[in-house]
């Protein structure tokens, strides 16, 4: 099945909103056996919406649209579909009742402009939207399908998961594509590529390498008549990759470094605390994005000022001798926060996040320290000239990787 995605809205076209809906959908199409060939963004202009729908209708079996289902004159997705199919919308009594009920439940009358959210055309049926007023449309005609969903991400995601995806799964007949991503760290992309090369010729298997913030990812893909069938092809390749890369692989598929750390801490019954300066709490925020982090994460200190570092237990002599931005201070911060918050492991981060791109301001240099229950500390320093936000993000990734390294070394 050949598919394309059309995102509708001037705000998306002009970059005022980043379109995350398309990625959400696109990521799930391969496993449904659906090939995605194009994605188009078009503004709130009926002529251009119709032109875009006409082309899509001529070349794709499945058209998925997001946005343009609101109640205002700017919302023209229904009008565009109706024009391309040559059908006339009418108010559906069931949808109208539901819509008026939605407003009545909130205690105010429905603005009459909203009535178009109760429209249907002969080829469409409504997709329920319990999170908002705009139902979606499932349109089917001449062997082609158009699925229209709202642009508000929580509404879109729920409609996709509960209504659209299951229906597409039922119709999936072709070959499904299954992928397994193995996440490595500490090896450059060129070397990963060379190490994986012996497996590149495996029949019916596609292999790719991708450089990412958290290391190089290896993706193994296989098609099959069923998911089980595709998995049977992937498994031996995955096992061989695990043999080749060993502990350089830290996770797979949706795994995150913070999730890996959480798992390791839970497994050891150990606890962690953090003391951050230039990352300003980003490390602790990411650690606590993992549900259940409270079981191992003791808490953090954001010691944005030198005196606060000293008050929290960093020896003033260390700061005096090596400077507040130094590997020694980072290690002392890691140790101090273990003592202060009674944790087994500690992370300290100090440095300057640097200026903003694309100017050529001085690069950011960040020192990261890790303290372990055995009483050892280690540190790593990164230098990047890519703007404050990127330096903060990279420093946090590096901190998680350095802690992983310490955990692996202990396990030996």
| Residues binding a copy of itself (CB under 8 A) | 11, 13-16, 18, 20, 22-27, 29-30, 36-43, 45, 48, 52, 55, 154, 157-158, 161-162, 210, 274, 276, 278-285, 287-289, 291, 293-294, 297-305, 308, 341, 355-358, 386, 388-390, 392
Q: Cβ closer to a copy of itself: 240 or 255? A: 255
Backbone angles phi, psi at 49, to 5 degrees: -65, -45
Measure CA 217 to chain center.
15
Q: State the minimum distance, in angstroms, from the CB of residue 52 to a copy of itself.
A: 7
Q: Cβ closer to a copy of itself: 34 or 146? A: 34
**CA 303 – CA 313 distance, rounded (Å):** 11
Q: State the minimum distance, in angstroms, from the CB of residue 81 to a copy of itself.
A: 18
Encoded tokens for 279? 């990352």
Q: State the minimum distance, in angstroms, from the CB of residue 189 to a copy of itself.
A: 11
Q: Cβ closer to a copy of itself: 247 or 386? A: 386
Q: Cβ closer to a copy of itself: 223 or 308? A: 308
Encoded tokens for 53? 């729908």
Q: Cβ closer to a copy of itself: 82 or 279? A: 279
Residues 6+ apart with CB under 8 A from 275: 300, 301, 302, 303, 309, 312, 314, 333, 334, 336, 337, 346, 347, 348, 349
Q: Cβ closer to a copy of itself: 301 or 407? A: 301
**CA 31 – CA 229 distance, rounded (Å):** 12
Burial of residue 120 (number of CB atoms within 10 Å: 0-12, 13-18, 19+): buried
Q: State the minimum distance, in angstroms, from the CB of residue 373 to a copy of itself.
A: 18
Element (H, E) at 378: strand 377-384
**CA 350 – CA 365 distance, rounded (Å):** 9
CA triple 317-319-320, angle to 5 deg: 60
Q: State the minimum distance, in angstroms, from the CB of residue 123 to a copy of itself.
A: 26
Burial of residue 205 (number of CB atoms within 10 Å: 0-12, 13-18, 19+): middle
């Amino acid at each position: 099945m050949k598919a394309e995605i059309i995102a509708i809205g001037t705000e998306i076209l002009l970059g005022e909103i980043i379109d995350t809906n398309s990625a959400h959908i696109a990521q799930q199409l391969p496993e449904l056996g659906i090939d995605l060939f194009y994605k188009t963004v078009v503004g709130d202009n009926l002529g251009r919406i119709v032109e875009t729908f006409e082309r899509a209708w001529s070349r794709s079996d499945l058209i998925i649209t997001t946005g343009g289902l609101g109640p205002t004159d700017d919302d023209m997705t229904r009008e565009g579909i109706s024009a391309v199919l040559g059908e006339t919308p009418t108010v559906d009594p069931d949808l109208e009742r539901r819509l008026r009920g939605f407003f009545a439940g909130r205690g105010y009358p429905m603005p009459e402009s909203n009535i178009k959210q109760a429209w249907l055309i002969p080829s469409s049926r409504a997709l329920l939207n319990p999170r908002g007023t705009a139902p979606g449309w499932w349109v089917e005609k001449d062997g082609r399908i158009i699925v229209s969903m709202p642009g508000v991400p929580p509404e879109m995601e729920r409609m996709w998961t509960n209504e659209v995806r299951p229906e597409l799964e039922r119709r999936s007949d072709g070959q499904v594509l299954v992928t397994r991503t193995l996440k490595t760290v500490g090896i450059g992309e060129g070397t990963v590529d060379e190490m994986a090369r012996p497996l590149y010729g495996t029949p019916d298997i596609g292999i790719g390498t991708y450089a990412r913030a958290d290391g190089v990812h290896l993706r193994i893909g296989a098609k099959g008549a069923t998911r089980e069938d595709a998995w049977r092809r992937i498994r031996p390749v995955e096992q061989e990759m695990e043999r080749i890369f060993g502990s350089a692989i830290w996770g797979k598929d949706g795994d995150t470094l913070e999730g890996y750390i959480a798992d390791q801490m839970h497994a050891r019954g150990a606890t962690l605390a953090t003391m951050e300066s230039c990352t300003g709490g980003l490390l602790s925020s990411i650690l606590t994005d993992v549900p259940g982090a409270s079981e191992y994460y003791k808490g953090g200190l954001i010691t944005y000022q030198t005196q606060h570092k000293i008050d929290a237990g960093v020896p003033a002599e260390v700061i005096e001798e090596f400077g507040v931005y130094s590997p020694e201070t980072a290690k002392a911060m890691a140790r101090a926060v273990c003592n202060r918050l009674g944790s087994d492991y500690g992370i300290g981060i100090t440095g300057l996040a640097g200026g903003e791109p694309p100017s050529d301001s001085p690069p950011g240099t960040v020192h990261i320290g890790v303290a372990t229950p055995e009483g050892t500390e280690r540190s790593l320093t990164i230098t990047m000239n890519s703007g404050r936000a990127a330096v903060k993000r990279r420093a946090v990734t590096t901190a998680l990787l350095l802690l992983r390294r310490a955990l692996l070394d202990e396990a030996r």
